[in-house]
Structure 1
Amino acid sequence: MSTIRLLVGLGNPGPEYSQTRHNAGFWLVEQYARMYGQTLQPETKFFGNTARIQKGAMDLRVLQPMQFMNRSGNAVATLANFYKIQPDEILVAYDELDLPPGVAKFKTGGGSGGHNGIKDIAARLGTPDFHRLRIGIGHPGDKSKVTGWVLGKAPQTDQVLMDDTITEACRSIDILLQQDMRAAQQHLHSFKAQREN
C-alpha cells in the first residue's frame, strides 16, 4: 500500500482564474474530495483550502494553496511540517504544457519543467523528491505565448479531454493509495490507450 498522506492541487486563487488551464490541479483535488463527499474549506493557518479523507487505512489531507502559483510551496511546507508529512508522502497535481490534453502522467522527483508552483514547492521542502501528477494542457507552440495559454480558457474540445482525464486520474489516485505507483501508472496508461483506439 502506498503512503501518500497529502494530495496537493495547484492553481491560482480568484474567480478570474477558475476556468483557466493553469488551474487543472485545483479541478482535480476538488473532484477527488467530491468523490468522498468532502468539500475543501478555507484554513488560514495553512494558506489554503483543505479537506481530510478517511476511509479504511487511508488518512489523506487534501490541499489547494490559496496563494499565487509561484508561492504554492508556503502552504505545502506549512501543512507538511504541521502533520509531519515527508516529501515522499506528498502527491502534487498540476498542469503540464509538455503533455497534450487528454493525457496525465505520474512522475517522482526530477526538475520543475519550468513550472513555478513545482519550483517553489521543491525550494520550500528542500527537495524535489515528491510525487507529481501531471495533467496535460498542451502547448501553444511558441514560448512567447505560454503565459497567455496557461492563463487562458481551453476550447470545449480540449476541456472535455481534460475533464475526462481528471476523472480517470482521480481513479488512479485511489489505485495508488490502495496498491502502488506502478498499478496507478498502468491504469492511467491503459486509459490513454483505450481512448486512442
Structure 2
Amino acid sequence: MIVGLSNPKAEYHNTRHNAGSWYVYSLSKSYLNNFKKEEKFFGFTASFYIDSHHVRLLVPDIFMNINGQSVFKMASFYNIHLSEILIVHDDLELDPGIIKLKYSYGHNGHNGLRNIISVFNNKSINFHRLRIGIGRPINRDQIASFVLSIPTKKEKMLIQRSIIHAIEENFILKIL
C-alpha cells in the first residue's frame, strides 16, 4: 500500500504539505489508473500491478493531522501491516528536488506521520517513507504557514522533477 499524505483537495491540493499526494497521483497516472472516492477509507483510492505485486494507493481526503484514520481504515480492511506501507510525505529537512527513501520509525515532527504512528498504536515499528523535499522557511515560527502555502515556480518544478525521477527509477520496487 502506498499513501500520499495530504489535506483535503479543494483548498490545499497545490500546497507544499500535499507533496505526498502529488507523487501518488503521478504514480497512478503512469500506470493509467484513475482514483475513485471511497468514503469508507476517507479518501481516494486506486490500484495496479507491478512485477506481480498488487499495489493499493490511497490519498486521504481529511486533514493531515488525522490522516492516520484513513490509512488505518484501508490497511485494516485489506489486512496490511504498517511495515508493508509506503508513506509518501513532504519533508522540511530536504531541499526542493531532493527525494529520499527511508525505512525507520518516528515522525520527525510531521503531524501526518505522528497521527499514523498514534493510530497504529506502535511507537517503535519501522515503516517505509518516501520523503519529498520542500525546503524550510528561515523562521521556525513560519513553518505552519510555509507548508500550507504554494511553492514558488522553481520549487514546484524541482519537486515535480524529483517525483518523476522517483517514478521512472521505480523506487517502489525497492520495498516490494
- If the length of structure 1 is used for normalisation, what is the TM-score? 0.84
Which residue number in structure 2 is paired with residue 157 of structure 1? 154
1:132 counterpart SS class: strand
Distance 2:131 2:50 in 1: 25
Alignment of 1:39-58 (within 5 A): 39-58=34-53
In the TM superposition, what is the alpha-carbon distance from 1:56 to its structure 2 partner?
4.2
Partners of 2:24 and 2:69 in 1: CA distance: 18
Find out whether 1:94 has 2:89 as its counterpart: yes
Partner of 1:29: 24
Q: Considering fraction of residues, name the structure with more helix.
A: 1
Q: How many residues align?
A: 174
Dislocated runs of 4+, deviation >6 Å: none
Secondary structure in structure 2 of the residue aligned to 1:119: helix
List alignment gaps of at least 5 residues for structure 1: 1-5, 185-197
The letter of the residue matching 1:63 is: L
Rounded to whole Å, the distance in 1 between the matches of 2:104 and 2:115 is 14
Give 1:10 shift: 0.6
- Are 2:25 and 1:8 equivalent residues in the alignment? no
Partner of 1:3: none
Alignment partner of 1:167: what SS? helix
Q: What secondary structure, in the 3-state scheme, does the structure 2 residue paired with 1:61 have? A: strand
Residue-by-residue CA offset, 1:102-126 (whole Å, 9 max, x unaligned): 1011111232111000001111122
Instruction: Kindly report the root-mean-square deviation, in angstroms, between the aligned alpha carbons of the 2 structures.
Output: 1.5
Q: What residue number does 2:142 align with?
A: 145
Q: Secondary structure at the match of 1:105?
A: strand
